[in-house]
Each structure stands twice: as C-alpha cells, then as structure tokens.
Structure 1
Amino acid sequence: MQTLPVEQLTSFLREAKDSGVFALYYIDLTTGLRRGELLGLKWSDIDLEKGDLRVQRQIGRIDGKIIEMPLKTKNAYRTLPLSADAIDVLVQQRRKTGNSEWVFSSPTGGPMSPDSVLHMLHRVLKRAGLPKVRFHDLRHTFATLALQNGVDIKTVSGMLGHFSAGFTLDTYAHVTTSAKREAAKTMGNILSGAV
C-alpha cells in the first residue's frame, strides 16, 4: 500500500488539471471510490442539490470488452456526501460531458476504460515528478488522510464500502497507531497540568 503524501497532492492535482483529468482524480480523492465504481458513475447517480452521489454499479473489462457490472457486495452500494468543492468540480464536469450519461465518459460518450484511466494516472504522476502508484493507492490516500485528520473509523469504513470497521481498522492500522501516539501525548499534556 502506498499513498500520496499531502505535500505531493498539490503538484499531482495541478498536473491533473493541466492534463484535463482533474475532475476524475479529485472526485476519487474526495470519495475513496474504487476505480470501477468511479467509472460506473452516471449523472443519474449524482444529486447536486442534495450534494451526494450513489454508488450503484462498476465498470470492468471482460474478454476485452468494457462492461457495466453489479458491485461485488451489498455494502458497496452506498450514498456518499459531497463537499462544496466536489460539487463545483462536478458542475464543471457536467458541462464537459455534454449528452453522455456517464460522469467520466470516453471520447465516444460511453464509459471510460479502466486501463486508460490507469495510463492517464501514470502519465500525470510522471509529469508531476512523483513516484508511480496504483490507482487503488488513491483510495488508500483518501482513507489515510481522512483518518489522520480525525474522521472516525466507522465513517471511513462506510464511505469505502467495507463490510466492517474491523476490516478498515486492520487495513489502516499504521494510521491508527500514530493516532494512538498523538492521543497519549495529548492526554499526557492535559494530565501533567493537573498534577
């Protein structure tokens, strides 16, 4: 598992903007969606007024064909809130996609290929002078940053579509270990003033 440290995100997102793929990666980093889930978003899944998106399907490749597929588990079907910035990004993306039903459409108007999104990611990282990461590492970046910034494990687990917070906790134990150290330090500071 790798993550993009917060100090690298600025150059990554700047290069994504220059490359015309900012919305794709920004929405992924603010929601933690899996690649297939991100590509499976249709405009009918987005409620810009309420500020949420529904994860209803995924895009995959079988026998060389790009197809719409159901999600793997019932927990993967979920509704996620969107930040004000994410809503603005989606409003701009809506103007770019024209009549396509897909939020992130291919040049032909259909869903994007999972392979092309990965190639774009590697191109953006290279141009930004950053190390190569997997697409799934953007999901890890979302979860790590959320946990490091005080979002509770149950909330992060639900947003990721995990079947249990225990699974999320096991996956991100490295983050919670440093949080425990900070908690011990904070409690020590509080109690040292009382003695």
Structure 2
Amino acid sequence: MDAVQPAADDPHTRSALEGYRAGALRWLAGGLIAVVLAVLLGAVAVAVAEDRGRPLPLAGTVVVGLVVVGLVAVGAGLGALARALRWRRALAAVPWQRGLLRIAGPAIVAFEPEGYDEWDPTQEPVRLTLVSTSVWRTRQVQGLDGGEVRLAPVGPGEWVLTAEGLPTLYGARSARSARRAPRERG
C-alpha cells in the first residue's frame, strides 16, 4: 500500500509557505518602521516647536496617521505569521488534493477534485470563498480558472490552495452551498 505524502513534504509547498511567511514579515517590518518613524517625527516636531515657539502644521496628524497605519500593519503581519505556522502544522498531516479550479465570482471558486463528474448528481465541487487582503492576490487566483490546482484542508471549513509556478499559498473558507434541500410540506 502506498503511503500518502503530506503536503508539507512537497518542495513547492515549502517554498510557497516561505513566500507567504516572507510577505507576513514584510507587513510586520513595515508596520514597525512606521511606528518608529512616528516616534522620531514626534520628537523632531516637539524640538522644532520648542525652538520656533509654535507647533509644526500637520505634524500631529502625520504622527497619528503613521502610528495607526503602523499598528494595523503590525497586526496584519502577526496574523499572517500565526496563519503560516498553523498552515504549516496542518499541511504536515494532510496530502494535497489535485483538481481543477473554476471561478464563480470575484472571490468565489469551486474546486473539482480528480475524478469529479459534473453530470453525477451525487457529486458536488468544493465551493470556496477566497480569504484575501489584496486585489492582486484575488486576481492571481482568478487567472487559474480551468487550471489544475492543489487544495488541502487546514481547519474546519478552512482550506489553502496553490498551483505549480505560484510563489505562495492562498487561503479560502467553505462557501455556503447554493443548493438547499427542499422543505417537506406537512
């Protein structure tokens, strides 16, 4: 009997996880730089205001803006790092499922696993909603319409997908099915 290789053992998966982690570190570093710049700008603005006897116009607004943007970026970076760690652990326990990706809307996709028969009424594709923080990531996935992708579960109702040649992983959540069971009349 063949042993199924966990997704994390695949070299492409390792490099895609590292790409995702690198993006998270960029968000974290950018946020920290913004906060440090805010502190430095605040100190300079106070020193200049003491020398001139009046405050610098808009300095306070810029400092507050840098702090807010920096804290948001730090939060995004920390969240992405935690997600990368969680995904790495989950992918160490499950294999990739190969199949075709179908785009159903701006952030809605359907995954048809290998062997899927669209004419069989008992089979239904895995319907997913992309979890993306940027338009370019969503568009990159939309460009895979009809192409082969790999999909793996990383939590209850949570999935990651990737494809050959993509430098990162994309998160998705299970979408509600458009079909509803008929109600019984009584």
Whichever structure has more helix as a proportion of its residues is: 1
Is the pair's TM-score, using the shorter chain for normalization, greater than 0.5? no
TM-score normalized with structure 1 length: 0.25
TM-score normalized with structure 2 length: 0.25
Whichever structure has more strand as a proportion of its residues is: 2
